[in-house]
Amino acid sequence: MKEQKILEQLNKLKSIKPDAKWKNSNRDILHSQIFSSQVEEEKQANIFLIAINNIFNFTKSISQPTLTMAIIILVVMGSWIGSSFASKNANLGDSLYIAKIINEKAQFAFTFNEKKKVKLGIEFATNRVEEINNIIKEKNKENKDKDEKVKKLVSDFKRQINETKSRLKKIETTNKIVRKNQDNKQDNKKETEKNTEEIADEENMVFSANLSKDENGIQVSEPNSVNSTTESTEPVIEENLSSTTEEVIEKASTTESIIEEKEEEQSPQTILEQAEVLLDKEDYNATIDKLNQADDAINNIDSTKEETTTTETEEEIASTSDEIK
């Protein structure tokens, strides 16, 4: 017999039901037995609580592993966020200070962009300076304790600054390499353009074919009228070209000088060095200002680079469009 037929026959067994008379009489007996029995007065549960309980049981039965995982993730994330908020204003010696340092290290570990790491380094250095400020403002503690804490924070600050400096150096070297590559590419482009122009000139050259006799030689050349017109326009174009190139060179020199001035004024490394000097002089507010300046300087470097890259891309687009024409 086939399995399906067996299952169908088993399904037919559902028709077995008790006698309706017995069912009703038994119901009455059960009813009287139950209602005569004394039951401890149970607090009537709120219907909403029952519904919530049922929903919880239902979801638990469906997705117990996912639910537990979600709860674990929520608890971990919540505790992490909570501890990071709570430890934000902690000072050296506080119980939450370790949490603050761990949080900073975790932030460092999870940022992969070097520029962002530099920014974080500056931020954490400012944190150290603020902590020094707070410790000096404390009135209850002894001077020895204060000095030790300040020393430790200063050493931490210097370590942080040195790390950021080395990172900045790395970034600068990589940027230089990238610039060199871009320059090389541009040079290559110019060379190829020159080559193409030379080839075009060769094509326009006069071809001659000697057919046994010099008198019968056929000469193929561009019509003279064209040559004469080009000759007449050449001096005008040369004049225009010389004037425009002079202007461009002047502009380029001015922009270069501006950029150099900017670099001299706002190079973040020099600002960081200044900040270090200010810290040694125990001018903490000024060091915080310098660190903020350094942060701005890094932002400015980003923006100038973006501008240069956009102009380069625009030039490339223009050149390709000309080629297509």
Partner 1 sequence: MKQGKFSENFLYTKIKQKDKESFMKAYDLYVDDIYRFISFKVKTKEEAEDISSQVFLKVWNHIRENSVKEFKTLRALLYTTARNAVIDHYRKDSLKDEVSYDAFSENFETVDKKQDILKQAEVSSDYENLLKKMSELKDEYSEVLLLKYVNELSIVEIAKIMDKSKGNIRVLIYRAVKALKKIA
Interface with partner 1 (CB under 8 A)? 1-3, 5-7, 9-20, 22-23, 26-27, 29-31, 33-35, 37, 39-40, 42, 44-45, 50-51, 53-54, 57-58
Q: What are phi and psi of 38, to 5 degrees?
A: -85, 130
Encoded tokens for 221: 């050349």
Closest CA to 94 of 134, 147, 139: 134
Pick between residue 14 and residue 325 the one whose CB is nearest to partner 1. 14
Pick between residue 35 and residue 207 the one whose CB is nearest to partner 1. 35
Minimal distance, residue 69 CB to partner 1, in Å = 22
Minimal distance, residue 303 CB to partner 1, in Å = 59
Minimal distance, residue 12 CB to partner 1, in Å = 6
Pick between residue 25 and residue 257 the one whose CB is nearest to partner 1. 25
Pick between residue 25 and residue 173 the one whose CB is nearest to partner 1. 25
Pick between residue 12 and residue 144 the one whose CB is nearest to partner 1. 12
Q: Is 207 helix (H, G, I), strand (E, B) or coil?
A: strand
| Contact assessment for residue 119 and residue 295, using Cβ atoms and an 8 Å cutoff | yes
Minimal distance, residue 65 CB to partner 1, in Å = 16
In whole angstroms, how far apart are CA 86 and each of 80, 81, 105? 10, 9, 16
Minimal distance, residue 111 CB to partner 1, in Å = 47
Encoded tokens for 302: 């980003």
User: What whole-number distance in Å separates Cα of residue 273 and Cα of residue 295?
Assistant: 13
Closest CA to 174 of 113, 262, 253: 113
Q: Which amino acid is at 251?
A: K
| Contact assessment for residue 222 and residue 204, using Cβ atoms and an 8 Å cutoff | yes
